[in-house]
């Protein structure tokens, strides 16, 4: 979420779910198979943070540099549903786990599209970018999600979600605030826990984990919300991390110096990667600049240029930028896109915190490194230490 209220940090509220809010006029949904990329380019420096919102690796002290210790993430625990609710959840899960085949073909998901002005899209994009829930989405999925959000206006005092109910939507706050209330066992009245503000999201855990609404959320003002339905969330947001991991793991298998990684290491690396796109002629990294990002080429072609000469060419599965991460050196060459390019990338902080063992794997292939470093004019003496 954009901001986490103190009640959530204390694990009193782990997710907060409108009975029937007023839907803004002119926002009737239309079917679509998903939006194409908006054409927006994302550079390594401007793309979203690479920390994964869906999988938090279990780190040991050896995995962390001293300078990173103060940045440890706070992880909330999931609420524990009642036995009665778990019985209902099992029934739902058995349906979602239904087998598919020629006799029962799975229907292709069609995301709804709610018409929005350019200004509305810009506003919802700002709200989404502040929420970790959507950090796994690439540009195309992000556009699809934006189209699937439905504008909802509520009046002050409206009960948006009620404790114990099944959840069918999550909400992002654009304007106004909500009060989060919870009734504890043995108590007759709801207890005020916290307020949530513009940029915050609530209601997602009921969709992610089939858990009941853990608290009641009431509009403290006249408000403007954006609502995302369960099907859209499940098919776009929740599955985005799994789809991303599958694609990245397949690409990582093609990276020669990482071929000795075990499945856990490969999965760990995949969860830390994000994507960015470049067009023909775009500079991905520039010679002389301090390197803080490692790249894997997912599609397209690129080349490394030094002293006006092409010293290396990259195709799908190729990688670059790892030397600067390992040795804290400035970029030794400029890498330029030679077509439409999609890359997966990981910044220095994630590399140090998550991939200590991978550094050792990289150093095992010293022959490959000597060749590459000599081509780039780098010192190879440290490889003999």
Q: What is the mean pLDDT of each run of 10 residues along the chain (385 residues)?
A: 42 39 45 36 36 34 38 38 42 36 64 88 79 72 90 95 88 92 88 88 77 89 92 80 75 70 76 84 92 85 94 88 70 92 82 60 60 58 55
Which of 203, 236, 269 is the last residue in one of the domains? 236
The pLDDT assigned to 193 comes to 87
The pLDDT assigned to 384 comes to 55
pLDDT digits (tens, 9 = 90+) for 213-261: 888 999 999 999 999 998 888 888 777 767 777 777 887 777 666 666 7
What residues contact 261, with CB distance under 8 A and at least 6 apart? 252, 269, 358, 361
Please indicate, yes or no, if residue 148 is contained in any of the structural domains: yes
The pLDDT assigned to 282 comes to 96
149 and 260, same domain (yes or no): no
How many separate domains does the chain show?
Answer: 2
Domain range for 165: 6-71+80-88+109-236
The pLDDT assigned to 346 comes to 83
The pLDDT assigned to 60 comes to 38
The pLDDT assigned to 361 comes to 62
259 and 199, same domain (yes or no): no
- CA 24/CA 152 separation, integer angstroms: 6
Which of 173, 205, 236 is the last residue in one of the domains? 236
User: Could you give phi then psi for residue 308, rounded to 5 degrees?
Assistant: 65, 15
Which of 373, 287, 378, 282 lies closest to 334, judged by CA?
A: 287
Please indicate, yes or no, if residue 1 is contained in any of the structural domains: no
What residues contact 349, with CB distance under 8 A and at least 6 apart? 68, 71
The pLDDT assigned to 122 comes to 86
177 and 292, same domain (yes or no): no
213 is in an annotated binding site: yes
202 and 309, same domain (yes or no): no
322 is in an annotated binding site: yes
Which of 57, 74, 94 lies closest to 210, judged by CA?
A: 94
130 and 213, same domain (yes or no): yes
Quote the tokens at residue 296.
């894997």
Exposure string for 161-195, b = 16+ CB within 10 A, e = fewer: bbbeeebbbbbbbbebebbbbbeeeeeeebeebbe
228 and 250, same domain (yes or no): no
- CA 159/CA 157 separation, integer angstroms: 6
45 and 116, same domain (yes or no): yes
331 is in an annotated binding site: yes
Please indicate, yes or no, if residue 99 is contained in any of the structural domains: no
353 and 225, same domain (yes or no): no
């Amino acid at each position: 979420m954009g901001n986490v209220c103190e009640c959530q940090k204390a694990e009193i509220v782990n997710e907060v779910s409108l009975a029937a809010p007023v839907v803004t006029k002119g926002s009737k949904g239309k079917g679509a198979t998903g939006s194409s990329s908006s054409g927006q380019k994302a550079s390594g420096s401007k793309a979203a943070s690479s920390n994964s919102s869906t999988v938090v690796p279990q780190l040991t002290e050896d995995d962390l540099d001293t300078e990173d210790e103060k940045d440890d993430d706070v992880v909330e625990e999931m609420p524990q549903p009642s036995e009665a609710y778990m019985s209902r959840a099992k029934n739902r899960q058995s349906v979602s786990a239904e087998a598919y085949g020629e006799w029962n073909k799975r229907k292709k998901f069609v995301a709804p599209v709610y018409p929005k002005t350019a200004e509305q899209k810009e506003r919802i994009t700002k709200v989404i970018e502040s929420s970790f829930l959507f950090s796994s989405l690439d540009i195309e999925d992000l556009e699809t999600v934006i189209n699937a959000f439905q504008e909802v206006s509520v009046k002050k005092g409206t009960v948006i979600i009620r404790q114990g109910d099944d959840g069918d939507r999550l909400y992002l706050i654009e304007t106004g605030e909500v009060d989060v209330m919870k009734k504890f066992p043995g108590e007759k009245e709801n207890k005020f826990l916290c307020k949530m503000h513009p940029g915050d999201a609530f209601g997602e855990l009921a969709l992610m984990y089939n858990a009941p609404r853990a608290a009641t959320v009431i509009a403290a003002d006249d408000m403007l919300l954006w609502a995302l339905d369960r099907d859209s969330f499940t098919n776009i947001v929740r599955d985005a991390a799994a789809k991303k991991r599958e694609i990245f793991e397949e690409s990582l298998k093609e990276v020669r110096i990482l071929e000795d990684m075990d499945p856990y290491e490969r999965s760990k690396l995949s969860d830390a990667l994000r994507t960015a796109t470049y067009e023909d002629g775009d500079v991905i990294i520039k010679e002389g600049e301090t390197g803080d990002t490692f790249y894997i080429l997912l599609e397209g072609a690129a080349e490394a240029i030094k002293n006006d000469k092409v010293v290396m060419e990259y195709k799908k599965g190729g990688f670059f930028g790892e030397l600067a991460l390992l040795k804290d050196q400035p970029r030794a060459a400029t890498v330029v896109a030679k077509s439409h390019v999609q890359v997966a990338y990981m910044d220095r902080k994630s590399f140090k915190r998550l991939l200590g063992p991978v550094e050792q794997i990289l150093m095992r292939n010293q022959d490959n490194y000597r060749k590459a470093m000599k081509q780039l004019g780098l010192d190879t003496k440290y490889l003999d230490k």
